[in-house]
Structure 1
Amino acid sequence: MPLVAVAVAALAIGFEQIVQWKYGPMGLIAFVALTVGLKARNTAISGVGAVILVMLLAQSG
């Protein structure tokens, strides 16, 4: 079980680095807001993070 947790954490950190590299600080803020909102079960914070990420993705496309 600890190996699975380490693998998931590594994937999350890798994804976070890719978002920060491609979308800059605003992408990192959006990813953190989405993650914190999901862990805290706060729909407002996770919704704001998701909307910002979608706007960044739509802008780059």
Structure 2
Amino acid sequence: MPWITLFLEQLIQWKLGFMGGVSASLVAAGVKLGNTKCLIAGCVILALLAGSSR
């Protein structure tokens, strides 16, 4: 399972840059720790980056 997470994080970082990797890490940490603030912050950053990359 950690390999899949690492692969997805690297793919996001390749597509969306450094901030994409940071936001993917925030989402993963939010899910793992049950911290909704990290999860929401990561999702918002990912949404903003995905919307601006089009």
Q: TM-score, normalised by structure 1?
A: 0.81
Quote the residue 1:15 is aligned against: 8
Gaps of 5+ in 1: 1-7
The CA deviation at 1:11 is: 1.8
1 CA distance for matches of 2:36 and 2:3?
25
Q: 1:37 aligns with which of 14, 30, 40?
A: 30
CA RMSD of aligned residues (A): 0.9
Q: Distance in 1 between matches of 2:32 and 2:4?
A: 17
C-alpha deviations, 1:12-58, integer Å up to 9, x for none? 11111111111111000000001001111110111000000010001
Greater Cα radius of gyration, structure 1 or 2: 1
Q: Percent identity?
A: 33
TM normalised by structure 2 equals 0.90
| 2:5 equivalent to 1:48 | no
**Equivalent pairs, count:** 54
Gaps of 5+ in 2: none
